[in-house]
Chains A and B, each alone.
Chain A
């Protein structure tokens, strides 16, 4: 009896040992872990970067990055613009090859020569600049990289293709007509299609670069729920965002990049927003907006009375006085930029009138505006504001070179002097006036545009989203600059979707809703809640029931 029990024990131990031994050679498919490690629950990184570096034209964009992501982990990646986040993403998604270091993917050293390789390995990326085809349908956009359903005679089965796309969208609770052309979608829908496309790729690692830029609150919630679900299914997620609240809410761990170096990684639970900001900028940040509200303003420099343009805005009346910063808030598509462009002379009014410096104002084109002392700094600086290949010097001097022109020629010495003065007074960080504007960081690009116009001493400045995509440090500098402009007695109209910014900077706040100004907020009424209510057209209603 004892002997047979001992015998049994011996046999079962032997059996167990051999089972574990055998298992240790097998990969467990859902985790990519070797068997034994799976049993021992030792987390093995899905992706491991060892001393990865990359430089562009002699500038070190990434310095010896050491980073690990485990399966089922959400890693937040934060850093100022120009810190190297995009470079890192591009290396992981196969757009660029690293100059040195080792990328270990599922414990094997890999080299991605193209985005195709990375996708095939199981790394799907949603890039910040959405990569899509405007004149193809939603379904085609989603499935172009995969085989399409065919009929028996090899023709594309369009119905099945659309059904497949619909199925994938429905899986993420989206109902977007798949036969619509991509460029007919709203920007939120475009982003959702991008997300659905990447998520349905069955990736092991999902990289998201600023995926929430044009999503509303509820859409963000839905995205986060999906990401959590994927995480539980063992997908690793690299989440890149400027929005620190999202990082805190979503991620397990945070990695901070600064000037191409990985300065810190810590579990999100141990971090607060202040620590992250400190690590990002390398110094404590003054969150206070520099603008002190002043009581006394000059005469009205810009006045609008019942200005209307069909399909864009209607019945707009307001004035901006010298030394005053007037904020213009509202949802995307409420007509703020259109209004600004009409004032600048890019659109004509259907009815109503405008006055500039008390005189009737009906600009025929933007040149007339600039020479009359009104400048507009557009929303999309890369597309509307700058020629990215031009030098910083040329980008600045284009704003005032006509003032210097003698006999059709621009005196070089005077131009250089002015450009250098502008670089200095706006603290634009460049290697010199000859550097291409496209290689500057977002903040410095924005300052370059400001510098271009401000040498003309314009009296009225319209800023459209001046700090979008600009990092925290440069943001403060731009805010200080705006404050300086108002302090010099100029009128500033500030369009911004960044609520703290528009609240902190403005003396008065106009809120647009569906093409008209729904509310004007002053003093203590200027709160985030009020702005949100007004932007959705509910302010009067809400206040009415309060009283």
Chain B
């Protein structure tokens, strides 16, 4: 019996989500009766779904280790504020893009360092970060921008290229890199090991702190790309409202993708499929003209339904195997 790095549970979840995504696309296709081309829907899906997938890839690595990062939405706000300030101060696009990348990467590293050195669970540290970083972004904007009125306007189209033009390509390259890396690198396996037993890692002579830090390192890179697309997509950067509850959307995609929220098991591919699934679901609801007030509740019900159905199928198959 040959078995790759995915467990059967994960493979089943991946197939399940893949089929689900195809069905949702079919539904969108059928719902597109009056006007609107299917190609447009697909084209738009790049920029819309890219931030969730990119941030999700980073989050997947962190959740592998049994930690979590709740502050990613606020980190994106800081990146966006830095970006906005630099744009307003007249810097060119490359500097502004670079600065927002570095800002999110370093805050992610800071999270890792704090979790490591203070020995406080990541969920607590990053919960504090969730409010702290957003507050810090507001303070930063208030200090650096004269007459800061709550939002920073980015009128020049040159600053919107990553979010509006290249999002799909960035997503494609990053996703391919992540999947290759998952298939051929040792580091993700170390993260899974840490998530499955920290004690065992220590007894094996591995350094748990360093492994955790590497997860935050990698997450920072993906988060930087997500932030870049996120902040260059909008006309106005509004620190108080940008990327609100983004972290929950991302964690939702990760969990839907079959990654164990307590660490030790999961896949990057699942996260990408999960994010697509959530996005297509919302699209179907929009095209089906479901009352917007109902949409969020319906989305939640669908998540529960999908995970419930998948787990039930898995249990049933395990039971059948035991009987055989």
Contact = CB atoms under 8 A, between A and B. Distances in A.
B323 A133 contact: no
A144 interface: yes
Contacts of A125: 203
Interface of B: 1-5, 7, 180, 183-186, 189-190, 192-193, 196-197, 199-200, 202-207, 260, 264-265, 319, 322-323
A310 B321 CA distance: 12
A243 interface: no
A116 B199 contact: no
Contacts, number: 80
Interface in A112-161: 114-116, 119-120, 125, 127, 131-137, 140, 144-145, 148, 151, 155-156, 158
A136 B193 contact: yes
Given A116-B205, A119-B205, A155 B197 contact: no
Given A119-B205, A137-B3, A144 B189 contact: yes
B205 A120 contact: yes
Interface in A61-116: 93, 95, 114-116
A338 to B, nearest CB: 12
A95 B203 contact: yes
A140 B189 contact: yes
Nearest to A155: B184
A120 B180 CA distance: 32
A131 B199 contact: yes
Contact of B7 (A132, A135, A155, A156): A135
A181 B184 CA distance: 18
Given A132-B197, A155-B184, A156-B186, A137 B204 contact: no
B1 A135 contact: no
Interface residues of A, number: 30
15 contacts: A95-B203, A114-B207, A115-B205, A119-B204, A119-B205, A127-B203, A131-B199, A133-B197, A134-B196, A134-B197, A135-B192, A136-B189, A140-B193, A151-B184, A156-B185
Contacts of B319: 311
B204 A311 contact: no
A180 interface: yes
A115 B199 CA distance: 11
A310 B186 CA distance: 41
B322 A179 contact: no
Nearest to B320: A311
B186 A148 contact: yes
Nearest to A197: B204
Interface string A295-313: 0000000000000001100
A136 B196 contact: yes
A358 interface: no
Given A135-B196, A135-B260, A137-B3, 15 more contacts: A93-B203, A115-B205, A120-B205, A131-B199, A132-B200, A133-B196, A135-B265, A136-B193, A136-B196, A144-B190, A144-B206, A148-B186, A156-B184, A177-B1, A180-B3
Given A137-B5, A179-B1, A179-B2, A131 B197 contact: yes
Contacts of B183: 155
Contact of B200 (A133, A135, A156): A133
A132 B206 CA distance: 13
6 A-B pairs closest in CB distance: A155-B184, A131-B200, A116-B205, A135-B265, A133-B196, A179-B3
A21 to B, nearest CB: 39
A410 B273 CA distance: 52
A134 B205 contact: no
B196 A115 contact: no
A95 B203 CA distance: 7
Nearest to A178: B3
Given A155-B184, A155-B185, A177-B1, A135 B264 contact: yes
